[in-house]
Amino acid sequence: MASAAEIPRYTPAEYLALERKAKFKSEYHKGYITAMAGASREHNLIGLNLASEIRSELKGRPCEVYAGDMRVFIDRTGLYTYPDVVAVCGQRQFQDDVVDTLLNPTMIAEVLSPTTETYDRGKKFAHYRQLPSLREYVLISQDQVLVERYIRQGDDWVLTEFRNLDDRLRLTSIDCEIPLREIYARVEFPEEKAAGA
């Protein structure tokens, strides 16, 4: 008999069956399902701002952008996850006919939260690096103007930082250029909130 402290394990098929009926999103890795926390106003604004700007830039091109709800599967590590923003150019590959699990993202962006920043920078990025299709990984702070872009160059990932609202984020993998001012539109930083209180 299983003790109350034991955490149930699931197969990938069981996870997908549960996830497709769930009212909230969960990640899956090595048999374990982990519920994803909700996001702040700033987190939501940044993710939607970035996706909207990318969508506008991609009009008329064979690329698509998804914000928040497109599940990505990393075959080499077995992780199912939901990036904040994901773009794919060219032929899209999905896990099955349900077309809700992308296999070949070109660019992934994550908005950093206090509870997920270490994971997004570390283990999650390690998973993402196992995607042969992935060319760019972007981390966006919600507490300050800071965008970190990693570009794959062979086996290396080269970092460029953007720290000024007048900077422009160049996403070479999908041929887009996004002003940081648009990414951070309507976002209030902690010092602004404190000043207004």
- The pLDDT of residue 193 is 62
- Position 112 pLDDT exceeds 90: yes
- The pLDDT of residue 5 is 67
Q: Which residue has the higher pLDDT, 5 or 157?
A: 157
CA geometry: angle 152, 155, 160, nearest 5 deg: 35
pTM, rounded to two decimals? 0.93
pLDDT tier, 68 (very low <50, low <70, confident <90, very high otherwise): confident
- Position 197 pLDDT exceeds 60: no
Please return the burial class of 85, using the count of CB atoms within 10 Å of its CB with bins 0-12, 13-18 and 19+: buried
- The pLDDT of residue 1 is 47
- What's at 31, amino acid-wise? G
77 with 29: CB under 8 angstroms?
Answer: yes
Does domain 40-186 fall into CATH 3.90.1570.10? yes
- Position 64 pLDDT exceeds 50: yes
CA geometry: angle 90, 94, 99, nearest 5 deg: 110
The full set of domain ranges for the chain reads 40-186
* pLDDT tens-digit series, residues 7-49: 899 999 999 999 999 999 999 999 999 999 888 999 999 999 9
pLDDT tier, 190 (very low <50, low <70, confident <90, very high otherwise): confident
Mean pLDDT across the stretch 165-193? 93
| Rg of the chain (C-alpha set) | 17
Mean pLDDT across the stretch 51-72? 96
Distance CA 44, CA 67 (A): 10
- The pLDDT of residue 146 is 98
Question: What is the pLDDT of the chain when averaged over all its residues?
Answer: 94
